[in-house]
Amino acid sequence: MASALGLTVTEHGPARVLSASGEIDTLTAPTLRTALLAGVGDVELVVVDLSDVEFLGSSGLAVLVEARDHVQRNGHRLRLVCGSRIVLRALEATGLSSLFEIADDVPAALRD
C-alpha cells in the first residue's frame, strides 16, 4: 500500500498553518518539503501542525530541520504542533526537539 500524506494550508493573519496528516516517509517527504519551502513566502510565522501524522520517519525529520533552517535564514519563525505522541517521540529520540518551538495545539502556536 502506498504512503499517503494529506496537506492543507490556511492563513491566519501574519501566520500560515500547514497541516499534515498521514505518513511522512521517504515517499512523501519531498511533498512536505515542497509545501514547507513554498509556504514560507512573506509570512512572519509558519506553523506546522503534525497532530494527525501517523508516522514520521528520518526523511520527514530531515525536511523539518531543513525548513527550520530556511525559515530562520529568511528572518521568519517556525513552530511545530505535535499533538501526536508519535511525532514528539521521533523528535525526542533523535535529539531534535530542542531545535524547534513546540506548541500543544494550533491556537497556542499562533500566540506570541
Write down the pLDDT at residue 3. Answer: 65
Quick: pLDDT tens for 31-86. Answer: 999 999 886 777 899 999 999 999 999 999 999 999 999 988 888 999 999 988 99
Sheet with strand 101-103: strands edge to edge: 5-12, 15-24, 45-56, 77-81, 101-103
**Residue for cell digits 506546522?**
48
Q: Work out the percent of the chain whose per-residue pLDDT is above 90.
A: 77
Quick: pLDDT tens for 92-104. Answer: 999 999 999 999 9
Write down the pLDDT at residue 84. Answer: 81
pTM of the model: 0.92
Write down the pLDDT at residue 42. Answer: 77
Q: Using an 8 Å Cβ cutoff, are 60 and 94 in contact? A: no
Query: What are the structural domains of the chain?
Result: 5-110 (3.30.750.24)
